[in-house]
Structure 1
Amino acid sequence: MSDDEEAEAEPTDAVVDEAPTIEVEEEPRELTMEEKLGEAESRAETAEKEIAYRDADIVNIRKRHTQDRADLLRYGGQGLARRIISLLDDFDRAISSMPETTDDSIMEGINMIRNNLEIALITDGAKMIDVNGQKFDPKIMEAITTIPASDEHAPNTVVQVLEPGWMLHDRVLRPARVIVTAVK
């Protein structure tokens, strides 16, 4: 016998399982009433929590919307107010640069227009910030330059207002541009 034939004739220790494996699907068992009730209560509790979260979100959205509308009504004219403030500055520069020989009726008309613009601003909630002689506050002022403190002016005090500041209700439209005494 040849080596190949001997190898074929020798028995092997391996067990060959040639029977196909059949998986038997078990029928799902019927849940008891208590299990069904527990499952339903769990789903109901989860749904109640979800509803509570959504209700809270709706309340928050309504509050935010109400606040946004109030802010829009209160501060909606902010951009226009800034432009009018610029116009007031232009009128002030024009008035200060007019020669003294200018006709009084022209000066009166220019002053009247300027004053009407300022009245319109004030009527809608804007106000000029009066800071002359006050302690420097960076929230409402912009220091253009500093000068040394003296006996006449305490340190960190506004000495001169170069350009007045403006507020709309509680918001700064434009900080006052000032000269301040230096801090020692």
Structure 2
Amino acid sequence: MTNEQTAAPAAEAAQAGGEIRNDCCTPLQEQLDAANAELARLREDMLRERADLENQRRRVARDIENARKFANERLLGDLLPVIDSLEAGLAQAGGDAAPLREGMELTLRQLLKVAADNGLCPIDPAGQPFNPEHHQAMSMVPPGEGQAENHVVQVYQKGWLLNERLLRPALVVVAQGG
């Protein structure tokens, strides 16, 4: 056989194989195209979800910052009438001390009401047993007549609880020893 005779069947076989290859590759190409389209859609969805998550993170951070910034808004708004009362009392006081004292007492009651409405309550432990969780002993003295040992005999400064959590301990003198 000559080269031409051998090449002809090889070319026919290659052509036939090419057609077979095209026939078997068409479904694979379609699957590949579908997979690439799905991948592109999933990438787009992922980017959209990532952007939504970032926007939500920024929104939460902004809300937290505003909450910190304006956390005392209600309390300070409640204190404005107390400030107004003090200013009015000082303006009207003049030289007489009695109206000034009455105005200060009224303003103190108003201030204590605002504090109580916001969860603040005083610790005034005079005559009560010493409680190291709420009291800070500044000194100790021997118990006097009518005073029990390990009880508070004098309060230098009241303590305060905020929603039942210690804000400031009471500074006290305790009866100790015999």
Q: TM-score, normalised by structure 2?
A: 0.44
Q: Which has the higher helix share?
A: 2
Q: TM-score, normalised by structure 1?
A: 0.43
